[in-house]
């Protein structure tokens, strides 16, 4: 079944539409450090404004514990949303209380208001279906239709994602529809060669996606903190680098499976090893099979792939027609250890075909390193949701929209 899209809602002029966005932006001292998710929300909101709808934006930010907490207010994100839309977007001081009701009642056609952080209400993330439904009913009372456009939460069974979509006429927004379209292109009728690049800290976070995609890909490129478990599975000492010893047998199984399927697993040939985990730590490049030969011995910690590996990874990516990348190659937040991630990002901009940056830290990395969203085929707004989609899991926030 295809997703229900905005067209399925009919004429929206004069109707109040609740839009579940993902405005969960990173903040530093109250300032937004990456407004990518706010920008990603603009298409649907503007389409609804053009249709003459009255728009109620709802979202979460961070992980407050079911009660108001000023440090998690949506105010910075809503202010930025208003700037990008070029209109004032008032923010209610509550989620479904008197101020929310007042602002919604004051809406005119094409107007936009926002409700405070949904997770200030314990019903949003409650494990109890009844509690979630009760909160969803309060939200539903504020509108005539519901548009789900927060792809970063569609893998969650939460009140504003699942129950609310069952209570009102509902459809996927432009962002969610686009995300699903791209991710389906990564799992069916894929243009080859098909390469998946995985990084980040833990192998255990990527088990499902590796198992599901290994039969589908031509190459699996591994970097980041998770690579040390792969190197250890080959019998190499990795010093004080991040290591999940309990996953070594699983990784050894991946090597065997890949060999049987003629899938190439590309590991780094060299590693940037540092004395300690710090931006200014002394460091040197050593062979990936001799990490403990660095000047730091067994206490050395791998913080990036080396220059030779960066070139090898880039070549594998550029030779592909479909590439999915999730997870940085090193500690990109430290300039001295960002080269591997930069090389992978640069290579993705040169892919003759579909290049997808899989959300989360990868999306933050490309923007931090100065790349534009338009440099890539697609930058996902949902790291966890993207991975679960590619694992073949059914996502409740999509199923409730007919997917």
Question: Can you give the pLDDT at residue 203?
Answer: 83
* pLDDT tens-digit readout, 166-218: 999 999 999 999 999 999 988 888 999 999 999 988 888 888 889 989 999 99
Can you list the positions of beta strands (E) in 118-255? Answer: 145-148, 170-172, 194-198, 219-222
Residue 119 among known ligand-binding residues? yes
- Can you tell me the mean pLDDT for 207-234? 94
**Mean pLDDT, the chain, as a whole number?**
95
More confident residue, 105 or 388: 105
Question: Can you give the pLDDT at residue 220?
Answer: 97
Residue 302 among known ligand-binding residues? yes
Quickly list H helices, 86-141: 98-105, 129-140
What is the C-alpha R_g of the chain? Answer: 23
Tell me the fold of 6-178: Rossmann fold (3.40.50)
Question: Can you give the pLDDT at residue 42?
Answer: 98
Active site residues: 37, 202, 360, 384
Low-confidence winner among 147-151, 202-206, 353-357 (lowest mean pLDDT): 202-206
What is the Cα–Cα distance from 209 to 251, expressed in whole angstroms? 13
- Can you tell me the mean pLDDT for 266-271? 98
Question: Can you give the pLDDT at residue 383?
Answer: 78
Provide the token pair at 307: 């220059």
* pLDDT tens-digit readout, 368-386: 899 998 999 999 888 788 8
pLDDT of 361 higher than 90 = no
Residue 24 among known ligand-binding residues? yes
pTM value?
Answer: 0.89
- Can you tell me the mean pLDDT for 154-158? 96
Residues whose CB is less than 8 angstroms from the CB of residue 309 and which lie 6 or more positions away in sequence, other chains included: 223, 267, 268, 269, 270, 271, 288, 340
What is the Cα–Cα distance from 349 to 244, expressed in whole angstroms? 32
Question: Can you give the pLDDT at residue 1?
Answer: 62
Q: Is the dihedral of CA 385, 399, 115, 36 positive or negative?
A: positive
CB 201 within 8 A of CB 296: no
Residue 157 among known ligand-binding residues? no
What is the Cα–Cα distance from 141 to 58, expressed in whole angstroms? 14
Reported confidence tier of residue 5, pLDDT bands at 50, 70, 90: very high
pLDDT of 163 higher than 90 = yes
Residue 206 among known ligand-binding residues? yes
Question: Can you give the pLDDT at residue 37?
Answer: 92
Residue 156 among known ligand-binding residues? yes
Question: Can you give the pLDDT at residue 371?
Answer: 94
* pLDDT tens-digit readout, 314-350: 999 999 999 999 999 999 999 999 999 999 999 999 9
**What ranges do the domains of the chain cover?**
6-178, 192-352
Type and span of the H or E element at 19: strand 16-20
% of the chain residues with pLDDT over 70: 100
pLDDT of 156 higher than 80 = yes
Residue 261 among known ligand-binding residues? no
Instruction: Please tell me the CATH superfamily of domain 192-352, with its number.
Output: Phosphoglycerate kinase, N-terminal domain (3.40.50.1260)
What 8-state DSSP symbol labels residue 4? P
Residue 361 among known ligand-binding residues? yes
pLDDT of 165 higher than 70 = yes
* pLDDT tens-digit readout, 60-109: 999 999 999 999 999 999 999 999 999 999 999 999 999 999 999 999 99
pLDDT of 12 higher than 90 = yes
């Amino acid at each position: 079944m295809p997703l229900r899209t905005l067209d399925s809602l009919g004429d929206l002029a004069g109707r109040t539409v609740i839009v579940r966005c993902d405005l969960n932006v990173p903040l530093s001292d109250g300032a937004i450090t990456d407004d990518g998710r706010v920008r990603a929300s603009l298409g649907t909101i503007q389409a609804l404004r053009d249709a003459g709808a009255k728009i109620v934006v709802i979202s979460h930010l961070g992980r407050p514990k079911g009660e108001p907490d000023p440090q998690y207010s949506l105010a910075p994100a809503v202010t930025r949303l208003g700037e990008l839309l070029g209109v004032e977007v008032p923010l209610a001081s509550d989620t479904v209380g008197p101020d929310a009701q007042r602002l919604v009642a004051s809406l005119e056609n094409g107007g936009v208001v926002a409700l405070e952080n949904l997770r200030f209400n314990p019903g949003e993330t409650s494990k109890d279906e009844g509690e979630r439904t009760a909160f969803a009913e309060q939200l539903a009372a504020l509108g005539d239709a519901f548009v789900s456009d927060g792809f970063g939460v569609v893998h969650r069974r939460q009140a504003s994602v699942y129950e609310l979509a069952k209570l009102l006429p509902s459809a996927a927004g432009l962002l969610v529809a686009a995300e699903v379209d791209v991710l389906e292109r990564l799992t069916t009728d894929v243009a080859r060669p098909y390469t998946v690049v995985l990084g980040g800290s833990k192998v255990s976070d990527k088990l499902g996606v590796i198992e599901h995609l290994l039969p589908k890909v031509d190459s699996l490129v591994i970097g980041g903190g998770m690579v040390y478990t792969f190197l250890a599975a080959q019998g190499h000492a990795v010093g004080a680098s991040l290591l999940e010893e309990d996953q070594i047998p699983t990784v050894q199984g991946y090597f065997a499976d890949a060999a049987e399927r003629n899938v190439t697993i590309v590991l780094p040939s060299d590693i940037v090893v540092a004395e300690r985990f710090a931006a200014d730590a002394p460091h040197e490049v050593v062979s990936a099979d001799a990490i403990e030969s660095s000047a730091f011995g067994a206490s050395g910690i791998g913080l990036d792939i080396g220059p030779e590996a960066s070139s090898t990874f880039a070549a594998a990516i550029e030779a592909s027609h479909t590439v999915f990348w999730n997870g940085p190659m090193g500690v990109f937040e430290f300039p001295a250890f960002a080269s591997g991630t930069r090389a992978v990002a640069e290579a993705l901009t040169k892919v003759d075909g579909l290049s997808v940056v899989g959300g989360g830290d990868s999306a933050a990395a490309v923007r931090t390193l100065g790349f534009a969203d338009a440099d890539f085929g697609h930058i996902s707004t949902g790291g966890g949701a993207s991975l679960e989609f590619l694992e073949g899991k059914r996502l409740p926030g999509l199923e409730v929209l007919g997917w």
